[in-house]
Amino acid sequence: MSTPRTEHIAVCPGSFDPITEGHMDVIRRASQMFGKVFVAVTADSDKTPMFSVAERVAMAQEACQDLPNVVVDSFDGLVVEYAQRRGAVALVKGLRAVSDFDREMQMAWMNRQLAPELYTVFLVPHPDYAFLSSSLVKEVASLGGEVSQFVPDAVYKRLLDKVGRGQ
């Protein structure tokens, strides 16, 4: 499926600290399902990010530049309010392993309480990325491991610079 089937708008929210090939797999699939997709980088996070919001947005923008119906943006406050402002019908999340399930279901349930008209759609990432996370990529990169296969080119150099392995 390469042409979106609907004009509907979706939001893919996340920390994207940094965006990985697992995120990209979900975003690519969402861009084939929906007319327009906003990749929404959260400015509020309970985790201390490695990259600033501006850096995370810039990396995601570069990674998504070949996807014409994808717009990268940042938001603060409730994701459902952001989605409503954008006219979205759905939040799209990647669901990797059972370990994601509890937290994602809690968020989906709460978001449904807050905005019953908004759907949460879970997409399954490619098995190659089923256990991939931004945290693991950062840890492996900072300990000298090879991570180029896990992150878009737009991220790789910035990540190595950030962990002091830049050329």
| Enzyme catalytic residues | 23, 47, 96, 134
Q: Is 20 in the site for ligand PNS (CB under 6 A)?
A: no
Examine residue 54 and tell whether it contacts ligand PNS (CB under 6 A).
no
47 DSSP 8-state letter: S
Segment 94 to 153, residues that bind ligand PNS, using CB under 6 A? 107, 110-111
The Cα–Cα gap between 83 and 57 comes to 17
Candidates 18, 22, 42, 138; binder of ligand PNS (CB under 6 A) is 42
Nearer to ligand PNS, 31 or 111 (CB): 111
Cβ distance to ligand PNS smaller for residue 78 or 95: 78
Q: Does residue 31 bind ligand PNS (CB under 6 A)?
A: no
Residue 12, sorted as left (phi over 0), alpha (psi -120 to 50) or beta, turns out to be: beta
When the beta carbons of 3 and 92 are compared against ligand PNS, the nearer one is: 92
Q: Which residue pairs, CB below 8 angstroms and at least 24 apart, start in 106-110?
A: none
Pick the piece of the chain touching ligand PNS (CB under 6 A) from 9-17, 24-32, 55-63, 147-155: 9-17
Nearest-CA neighbor of 16 among 93, 109, 108, 103?
93
Tell me how crowded residue 53 is: count the other CB atoms within 10 A of its CB.
Answer: 19
Q: Could you give the CA distance from residue 147 to residue 22 in angstroms, rounded to a whole number?
A: 13
Q: SS3 of 54, please?
A: helix
78 binds ligand PNS (CB under 6 A): yes
Q: Which is nearer to ligand PNS, 114 or 128 (CB)?
A: 114
